[in-house]
Amino acid sequence: MVKPSVLIIGCGDLGMTLGHQLIAEGHRVIGVRRRAEALAGTGIEPLALDLNTLDDAGADALPETDYVIYTASADRFEESAYQSAYSDGIKRVLAVLEQHAAPPKRMFFVSSTSVYGQQQGEVINEDSPAAAESFSGRLMLDAERALLDHAIPGTVVRFSGIYGPGRDRLIRQVAEGRVAAVTPEIYTNRIHRDDCTGILHHLIQRHERGDSVEPLYLGSDSEPATQHAVMSWLARQLRVKPTDTMQSPLRRRASKRCDNTRVVKSGYVFRYPTFREGYAQVLKEGGFLPTQPAAHTPET
């Protein structure tokens, strides 16, 4: 049986990791990037393309595939960059795809929990109101609506804070002796990169089997935790004594607890169900762990 083909738009770290998984199973994968030379030798078919050029493009600007993954990202934290990458970008892509003789079976949009505006540690899920005040959250939400209101079937996956190989800023902060304050209590939600790609892979498989796929999923691991708890755990693994207390900037104090029940009920099994398993992998593979064994201390 011929495996379905997949077009990954914005084929960066997430897209390449997913692409490798799909290729290993026999799928044809095409990756779109502004500079596609990074895809050379990966097995992913490169397509060099700037989404800003799609306004007057015809159907041939993008190849016909069974599935489309939109995982483009803004190149800087500015409103114009977010407008271009998310709100305008996905609308341009949809305008091309709807011209295809055989539009995709389903399109997946990699979104973010930044669309939520909750700041008091509330538990949120797919039914919670999304009313972010930040330009990033508002533009991401506009992109979501563009897909979900379109005739092409679409699914949005809102990922929380993604970490993994090469995404080690928090580890480096802790290694410098910096740990978040105990108060105010700021909840953080995380997901390992490999679980992001795992969820997308899982949803494609569900669709191929004829199982139901919801229009919206919240992609976050199974244990929301405070920023202080995560950083203190990392400090113990690194055997670092904190010397500096970090205060979260006001613009980033979005404290909420993400409930991943829907994606778990769909049958997805997390490879890294909490930050402990996930960061343990990053610490080990990234060479961050001390070489000498530490004295035993109780885990918390």
Tell me the whole-structure pTM to 2 decimals. 0.92
As for how many domains the chain has, the answer is: 1
The pLDDT value given to residue 253: 55
The mean pLDDT value of the chain amounts to: 92
Per-residue pLDDT for 76 more than 70?
yes
> How far, in Å, are 33, 142, 147 from residue 135 at the CA level?
24, 10, 19
The pLDDT value given to residue 251: 46
**For the chain, what percent of residues have pLDDT higher than 90?**
83
Q: Is residue 24 part of a domain?
A: yes
> Average of pLDDT values for 263-270?
98
Q: Is residue 210 part of a domain?
A: yes
Q: Is residue 181 part of a domain?
A: no
Task: Pick 251 or 50 by higher pLDDT.
Answer: 50
Q: Is residue 240 part of a domain?
A: no
Q: Is residue 300 part of a domain?
A: no
> Average of pLDDT values for 281-288?
92
CATH of the domain at 125: 3.40.50.720
* Residues 65, 21, 211: CA angle, nearest 5 degrees: 60
Residue range(s) defining the domain that contains residue 266: 6-165+191-222+257-272
Per-residue pLDDT for 124 more than 50?
yes
Cα distance between residue 173 and residue 180, in whole Å = 10
Question: Each residue of 176-191: pLDDT tens digit?
Answer: 999 999 988 899 999 9
Cα distance between residue 125 and residue 257, in whole Å = 9
pLDDT bin (cut points 50, 70, 90) of residue 252 is: low
Per-residue pLDDT for 295 more than 60?
no
